[in-house]
Structure 1
């Protein structure tokens, strides 16, 4: 996919970074975390906070003014964390990306400055990576919709959308486009873009392997990544023309709910849901996100008419695990208790 160039003004400026901003960022760093390529741990930074923050203030402001990113900040070491099962099966390991702690402090300062503006651009339908929002909000909303539509004998079609490796797939230029569209100061966009321009990683096992370029996706472990992803997803949804679609909820129309990349679509008919799924798949593909038809599921109390995304047929289900909770039209509580008991036994 060819990347388009996003024009950014060179004249935009932002306030210098204050020592208090750096201190706050250091204090929020978690302990007992492996350091990145710079070898600097949080246990080293925190006791030296009064000594190091004036030095970091000078370094950070120089970076803000010149927009030159230290090369070490663009590098990540990827380690493999064992989960469970056969230790000789690579599928039983989770990759963890370790990056410079100094970069993460800088990124947290930038995040604090742009976070409010980005959150203001997010609709109430998006609850992921936001303060005062919870997975419970969306779980309760989905269950209430099903319960009320069943009670009043109204037909609903609900699609639980799955993306293939969503956070690893975004086209970088769409990140800058989304940030610009949502009013972020262009100097901040250029700084983030400069980090990504030369971003690379290497596998760290018994020794560190050769580095490779990161050409797409948001950086794992980067404090900015969740907000960058949400900004791009918001740009995708703004392109969708769904004014006459969705379900009626107390006089308002609800087309979808979002929790990060966990998306639920609501429709009155299978034809409407078919349109919505294909619209979403088409617009998502433009930013590098690929809808996964095999893992995308539909739940309904109506006729199970054929629903397709492209050439792939979407399966109907009687229940679905959404944000870690069982969603089912019938006997939610007992089914959820049974599921949790079964999962507990699997651990022994």
Structure 2
């Protein structure tokens, strides 16, 4: 991704000119500049994350275009899915081959160099579809340098695999939503209406 130099300067000015002050017992202390750029709760932070995600998306799209990654297709007419981004998490879909694993590692390495973010490979997990042979699982997990996971229990509070019995599976989620709505309803009602 290429941005105009002036635009980059404006964004960096927003990042580098951040300063904070602290209120203690109603008294404001002297402002200070953070040594590590903006903090996570900064209003600019989500936009910078989106820019980085867009860059990672562009690298991945290029690898698909060059046929270095193939992704996942749920049926013949469906689009190919190569990644899903959630906040600061990513899920990548690729064939269980050494070539595709190396392509994925190269994408992430280029992303680290370009965007100055480090990918935490210790948090990575790899899982396989049922039709992947044990030998391919071994080569793939060895190339990625991570242990395979048989089944992810939950991701972002949701189950990762859905079978035929959806009623019991989503009962907990349904109850959590019901409780949230109940709380919101109580907060929005006047005291007289309760």
Shared topology, TM-score over 0.5? Answer: yes
Question: Would the alpha carbon gap of residues 311 and 195 (structure 1) be closer, same or farther in structure 2, given more than 3 Å must change?
Answer: same
Following superposition, the deviation at residue 329 of structure 1 comes to 5.5
Residue of 37, 58, 79 corresponding to 1:252 = 79
Following superposition, the deviation at residue 311 of structure 1 comes to 7.3
Following superposition, the deviation at residue 313 of structure 1 comes to 1.6
Q: Is 1:303 the counterpart of 2:133 in the alignment? A: yes
- Which blocks of at least 5 consecutive residues in structure 1 are unaligned? 1-177, 342-348
Q: Is 1:313 the counterpart of 2:141 in the alignment? A: no
Question: Would the alpha carbon gap of residues 224 and 332 (structure 1) be closer, same or farther in structure 2, given more than 3 Å must change?
Answer: farther
CA distance in 1, matches of 2:155, 2:99: 22
- Contact 2:154–2:160 (CA<8 Å) still a contact in 1? yes
- Contact 1:242–1:276 (CA<8 Å) still a contact in 2? no
- Which blocks of at least 5 consecutive residues in structure 2 are unaligned? 176-194
Report SS of the residue matched to 2:127.
Answer: strand
Greater strand content? 1
- Contact 1:297–1:317 (CA<8 Å) still a contact in 2? no
> 1:42-191 to 2 correspondence within 5 Å?
181-182=2-3, 186=6, 189-191=8-10
- Contact 2:125–2:146 (CA<8 Å) still a contact in 1? no
Instruction: Provide the residue aligned with 2:119 in structure 1.
Output: 291
CA distance in 2, matches of 1:317, 1:236: 27
Residue of 34, 49, 74 corresponding to 1:229 = 49
Question: Would the alpha carbon gap of residues 326 and 202 (structure 1) be closer, same or farther in structure 2, given more than 3 Å must change?
Answer: farther
Instruction: Provide the residue aligned with 1:281 in structure 2.
Output: 108
CA distance in 2, matches of 1:275, 1:337: 40
Question: Would the alpha carbon gap of residues 200 and 270 (structure 1) be closer, same or farther in structure 2, given more than 3 Å must change?
Answer: farther
Aligned-residue CA RMSD in angstroms?
A: 3.7
Instruction: Provide the residue aligned with 1:193 in structure 2.
Output: 12
Query: Can you list the C-alpha shifts for 1:21-59, whole angstroms capped at 9, x where unaligned?
Result: xxxxxxxxxxxxxxxxxxxxxxxxxxxxxxxxxxxxxxx
Asked which structure has the greater RCO (Cα within 8 Å, sep 6+), the reply is 1
CA distance in 1, matches of 2:146, 2:122: 8
- Contact 1:246–1:267 (CA<8 Å) still a contact in 2? yes
> TM-score under structure 1 normalisation?
0.37
Question: Would the alpha carbon gap of residues 320 and 293 (structure 1) be closer, same or farther in structure 2, given more than 3 Å must change?
Answer: farther
> TM-score under structure 2 normalisation?
0.59
Report SS of the residue matched to 2:41.
Answer: coil
- Contact 1:199–1:213 (CA<8 Å) still a contact in 2? yes
- Say how many residue pairs are matched: 159
Query: Can you list the C-alpha shifts for 1:282-319, whole angstroms capped at 9, x where unaligned?
Result: 12321222222332222322335133487732431312
- Contact 2:126–2:146 (CA<8 Å) still a contact in 1? no
